[in-house]
Amino acid sequence: MEGKWLLIMLVLVMGWSVTLTSASFGDRYRGRKSFLPTEATSSLAFSRAPSSIVLPVHGNVYPIGSYNVTLNIGQPPKPYFLDPDTGSDLTWLQCDAPCVRCTEAPHPYYRPNNDLVLCNDPLCVSLHAPGAHKCDNPEQCDYEVDYADGGSSLGVLVRDAFHLNFTNGIQQIPHMALGCGYDQLPGSSYHPIDGVLGLGKGKSSIVSQLASQGLVRNVVGHCLSSRGGGYFIFGDDLYDYSRAVWTPMSPDYSKHYSPGFAELIFDGKSTGFRNLFMVFDSGSSYTYLNSQAYHFLTSWLKRELNGKPLKEAPDDRTLPLCWKGRKPFKNIRDAKKYFKPLALRFAIGRKDAAQFELSPEAYLIISSKGNVCLGILNGTEVGLQNSNIIGDISMQDKMVIYDNEKQMIGWTPRNCDQLPKSRSFSFW
Q: Domain check: are 313 and 348 in the same one?
A: yes
Domain assignment present for residue 1? The answer is no
Domain assignment present for residue 311? The answer is yes
Under 8 Å between Cβ of 343 and 356 = yes
Under 8 Å between Cβ of 270 and 359 = no
Q: Domain check: are 107 and 76 in the same one?
A: yes
The alpha helices in 272-368, defined as continuous H runs, are 291-305, 332-335
Does a cis peptide bond (omega within 30 degrees of 0) precede residue 122?
A: no
Higher per-residue pLDDT: 42 or 212: 212
Q: Domain check: are 221 and 269 in the same one?
A: no
Our answer to whether residue 85 is catalytic in this structure is: yes
User: What is the arithmetic mean of pLDDT over 177-194?
Assistant: 91
Q: For the beta carbon of residue 180, count every other beta carbon within 10 angstroms.
A: 29
Q: In whole angstroms, give the CA distance from residue 215 to residue 207.
A: 9
Q: Domain check: are 253 and 374 in the same one?
A: yes
Total structural domains within the chain: 2
Query: Which pLDDT belongs to residue 50?
Result: 65
Confidence of residue 37 (pLDDT cuts 50, 70, 90): very low
Q: Domain check: are 110 and 246 in the same one?
A: no
pTM across the whole model: 0.88
Element (H, E) at 208: helix 206-212
Query: Which pLDDT belongs to residue 315?
Result: 97
Range of the domain at 308: 241-413
Which of 89, 183, 194, 281 is catalytic? The answer is 281
- pLDDT, tens only, 235-287: 998 888 889 999 999 998 888 999 999 999 999 999 999 999 999 999 899 99
Q: Domain check: are 209 and 68 in the same one?
A: yes
Query: Which pLDDT belongs to residue 390?
Result: 97
Domain assignment present for residue 374? The answer is yes
Question: Considering 211, 234, 257, which residue would you say is the last residue of a domain?
Answer: 234
Least-confidence region, from 7-21, 123-137, 354-368: 7-21
Q: Domain check: are 195 and 250 in the same one?
A: no
Under 8 Å between Cβ of 17 and 149 = yes
In this model, does residue 335 exceed pLDDT 60?
yes
Does a cis peptide bond (omega within 30 degrees of 0) precede residue 98?
A: yes
Query: Which pLDDT belongs to residue 205?
Result: 97
Domain assignment present for residue 35? The answer is no
Q: Where are the beta strands (DSSP E) in 341-404?
A: 342-346, 354-358, 364-366, 372-374, 376-378, 387-390, 398-403
Which of 83, 85, 194, 403 is catalytic? The answer is 85
Domain harbouring 260, CATH code: 2.40.70.10
Our answer to whether residue 115 is catalytic in this structure is: no
Under 8 Å between Cβ of 321 and 373 = yes
Least-confidence region, from 1-10, 54-63, 143-152, 299-308: 1-10
Query: Which pLDDT belongs to residue 32?
Result: 54
Domain assignment present for residue 9? The answer is no
